[in-house]
Chains A and B, each alone.
Chain A
Amino acid sequence: MSTFAHFESLLVVEVSGVFGAATLAAKLLSDVGCFVARLEVASGAPADDTESDRELLGLISRGKHSVAIDRSPAAADALDAMLRHAQILIVDREGLLRVRALLRCDELSARYPDLTVCACTPFGLEGPMATWTGGEEIVQAAAGIMSITGHPGSGPTRVAGIPFTYAAAMFAVTSCLADLERRKAGATTALLDVSVYDAAIAFESASMPAYFLTGTAPHGIGNRHSMSVPWNSFRCADGWVIICAGNHPNWVRLCEMIGRPELVADPRFATQEGRIAHVEEIEAAVSAWMRDRSVAEVEALLNANTIAGGSILPLHDVIEHPQFHARRLVDADARQSGAVFHLDHEPLDVREGAWGLGAGTRTVLVDRCRVPVAHYERWVADGVVMEAQGAAHAETA
């Protein structure tokens, strides 16, 4: 296992209301070795979380340290102590409002000049949608992602999972560390404003130009590639396979693989432009060869012929696959997600924090933030801060 020992001295404070880019950004910083303190407000209300919700929370929270506070003005002192010792504050919109309200301070950068403050929100802190609520799907709708995802005629379709939320989290981490670098050089900075919306727009680098150049909005083209043919999913006898044989050498090998070497010499298919113009005929030839073959047979032939492609796997199979485990995307018990890149040929160490509600309160405030023990004990006695008790629930708003 590898690690970045350098980051152990960095204290990151996360204040977020709901699962989103801020939560993930703090998780990523924890993965590379930062000490992440997650501020939570204890609530007596039972949540209606499902087992899957709780498992997801564990996957993204285990490396963090939970600090539980109440809503009283005195809790501001605990937060202030954390921010005076922290290098990075990660917030979502609710978190930013909460911090500002608790501290009675709108200009965090002025009050904490050595603190990098990064807001990770769905739509950013500016613009007509700045106050809009919603997660991944709401951003996908408003940013045009759904309009360019879909089979022809099937209507707008969301992309499964949270790719843009995750991307925004990575952009937030990069932005925060870049900000620390600039501070090292003596510069001061303002609030970093990262949004899932911006990430989605950035990911339209191959689609938005179609609108720039033609004035017409592109729509979903299924699994085809606008610039390369053959490139599509094809039905086999027992499932689906994707084939990406877009360049000429791949095209030649594919023709030989499907027993149609004469297609190579056909002048209609001699160039990429020609193959794009005759996509239906080419796909018909590939489909005819595929339909009676098994996925395993086709996959083996694609590999043997070094043609890019493969089966379309359900997530169910992916998370059990040796590739998934070789990449250490989860820890040995699949209780916590692992780091998202490898360092010096080793996966990054999966860190264990104190993520149960209030489990990290003392460690963070006394050990990391140097709050005097007597002071801390008084906070505990007054219910300003809470240590782990097992039965309490974290409020997520």
Chain B
Amino acid sequence: MPRPLEGVRVLDIGISTAGPYAARLLGDLGADVIKVEPLAGENTRGLGLRYGDAGYLYHVNNYNKRSVALMLQDPRGRDLFLELVAKSDVVIENFAIGTMDKWGVGYAACREANPAIIYCSVKGFGESGPWAGLRAFDTVTQALCGLMYSTGKPGDPPLKAGPSVCDLMGAAVSSMAVMIAIAARRPGRSRFLDTALFDMGAVALSSLWPLARHGSAESLRSLGNRHPDHAPFDDYACAKGRVMVTVTRDAQWRALATLVGLPGEWSRQTRIEKREAIDAALSAWLAKHGAQEAAERLQALAIPAAPILDLEQVAKSAQLASRKMIGTLRHPVYGEVPLINTPLATGEADSRGPWRHQPVLGENTEEVIGDLLGHASELPSLRKEGVLR
């Protein structure tokens, strides 16, 4: 069965996570994603934990792509990039504002090269607002969007999310925006898509906006694992391990109340007022059961509960295996590489894994610059003069 985006070509000129992961998601759907890297390679090739000689983040963010290494600061490199734009449908970049224009490959130049280009600008704070020019990493946007203030246990310093949630949500919204623009495209009509990590951090907290509008800043400081509007709602120690329990509805409470010997008619407001007493009764019941067993027994009564698992437990779980979210790719250079598969759904059970390996630096220069652009005879001189690799 054809992949949904077969025939769509995407230029990925991003670094780190937000841009490259957005492009990879489009690759997961079958787009021909060409990663344009500097001659020394994109930064994650040399960052953090390595698999072979490449940072692991590179492996995860860049499968289902091809790679060309191009010196954009050289006029010939710039021209080759714009030639690629002319033969592509989408450009995704996540450099600081003004960088692409400085290199002569910003939206205006891309649109001139291809009047129907879909150009996605992924930024920390977007292209508008007083913070548009600020330097940003995921952590900075987590701090400025309110997420760090509300994450963390009461009494502890503010805390960022373990995963780079703003980066990855930035990638998710960017791939979604591009998909929307592709689905709605009209001949000869370019589109400029402006996405922001800050926006994503802010909307991740949208469930708390009403509380923030009506309450004090203090009321949302370091929420820990509790919810200010629901009880019982926390993590609890079990005979073995810990479990998260989140009762939000009366029916769930009635089922739990029977189990822990408390009145089932307590309303939501009463439950909040009696939070400590409920927690004590629930803790006493949980102390007799392991976390997995407790969660299964609570779930059997339609009470939201789950064991709190570490990544080893997750990696070995039947749930993860059934979801096919972890796979192994046989790479011609790196051998067997364990990878996280795509979260996108195509309706095909076996379509989650990579269909193309993550490229080594400049692996596809011949087929892209040589064959696609027709510059095969110039490759030796372009290489010799440091325009490409």
Which residues of A come within 8 Å of B, CB atoms? 4-7, 19, 28, 32, 48, 50-53, 55-56, 59-60, 118, 123-124, 126-135, 137-151, 154-163, 166-168, 170-175, 177-182, 185, 187, 189-195, 197-199, 201-213, 215-220, 222-223, 225-227, 231, 233, 235, 240, 242, 244, 246, 303, 306-319, 322-324, 326-327, 329-330, 334, 337, 340-345, 397
Stretch at the interface among B206-214, B257-265, B273-281, B371-379: B206-214
Contact A171 B172 (CB under 8 A): yes
Q: List 18 A-B contacts (CB under 8 A).
A: A52-B211, A145-B161, A146-B225, A148-B311, A171-B172, A174-B29, A179-B347, A192-B345, A192-B346, A199-B343, A205-B340, A314-B217, A323-B129, A341-B177, A343-B192, A343-B194, A345-B128, A397-B249
Residue of A with least CB distance to B320 = A201
A59 contact set on B, CB distance < 8 A: 206, 209-210
B215 contact set on A, CB distance < 8 A: 316
Given contacts A151-B157, A160-B205, 10 further A-B contacts (CB under 8 A): A144-B310, A146-B244, A195-B323, A195-B343, A203-B163, A203-B168, A208-B340, A217-B313, A303-B134, A342-B127
Contact A314 B149 (CB under 8 A): yes
| Interface presence of B150 (CB below 8 A) | yes
Stretch at the interface among B44-52, B84-92, B361-369: B44-52
Answer whether A182 and B193 are a contact pair too, CB < 8 Å, given A138-B244, A327-B199: no
Q: Which residue of B186, B202, B206, B244 contacts A137 across the interface (Cβ within 8 Å)?
A: B244
Q: Once bound together, how far apart are the Cα atoms of A84 and B93, in whole Å?
A: 40
Contact with A along B23-52 (1 / 0, CB 8 A): 001000100000000000000000111010
Q: Once bound together, how far apart are the Cα atoms of A225 and B309, in whole Å?
A: 22
Residue of B with least CB distance to A31 = B180
Q: Once bound together, how far apart are the Cα atoms of A397 and B304, in whole Å?
A: 14
Answer whether A137 and B225 are a contact pair too, CB < 8 Å, given A191-B347, A329-B199: yes
Nearest CB in chain A: distance from B264 CB, A: 14
| Interface presence of B360 (CB below 8 A) | no
Residue of A with least CB distance to B318 = A128
Contact A179 B4 (CB under 8 A): yes
Contact A147 B344 (CB under 8 A): no
Answer whether A327 and B196 are a contact pair too, CB < 8 Å, given A48-B267, A159-B147: yes
| Interface presence of B312 (CB below 8 A) | yes
Residue of A with least CB distance to B122 = A341
Q: Once bound together, how far apart are the Cα atoms of A182 and B4, in whole Å?
A: 5
Q: Once bound together, how far apart are the Cα atoms of A144 and B305, in whole Å?
A: 14
Interface of chain B, main secondary structure: mixed
Stretch at the interface among B54-62, B66-74, B75-83: B54-62
B157 contact set on A, CB distance < 8 A: 151, 222-223, 233, 235, 240
Contact B210 A56 (CB under 8 A): yes
Contact B159 A161 (CB under 8 A): no
Contact B169 A134 (CB under 8 A): no
Stretch at the interface among B97-105, B135-143, B380-388: B135-143
Contact with A along B156-183 (1 / 0, CB 8 A): 1111111111001100111111011111
Answer whether A179 and B346 are a contact pair too, CB < 8 Å, given A145-B163, A342-B128: yes
Q: Once bound together, how far apart are the Cα atoms of A144 and B314, in whole Å?
A: 6
Contact A311 B143 (CB under 8 A): yes
Q: Which residue of B139, B169, B209, B246 contacts A135 across the interface (Cβ within 8 Å)?
A: B246
Contact B151 A307 (CB under 8 A): no
Residue of A with least CB distance to B59 = A209
Of the listed residues A134, A174, A207, A317, the one surrounded by the most CB atoms of chain B closer than 10 A to its CB is A174
Contact B163 A204 (CB under 8 A): yes
Contact with A along B183-200 (1 / 0, CB 8 A): 110100001111110111
Nearest CB in chain A: distance from B315 CB, A: 6
| Interface presence of B5 (CB below 8 A) | yes
Contact A167 B149 (CB under 8 A): no
Answer whether A217 and B323 are a contact pair too, CB < 8 Å, given A133-B302, A240-B157, A326-B128: no
Contact B340 A161 (CB under 8 A): no
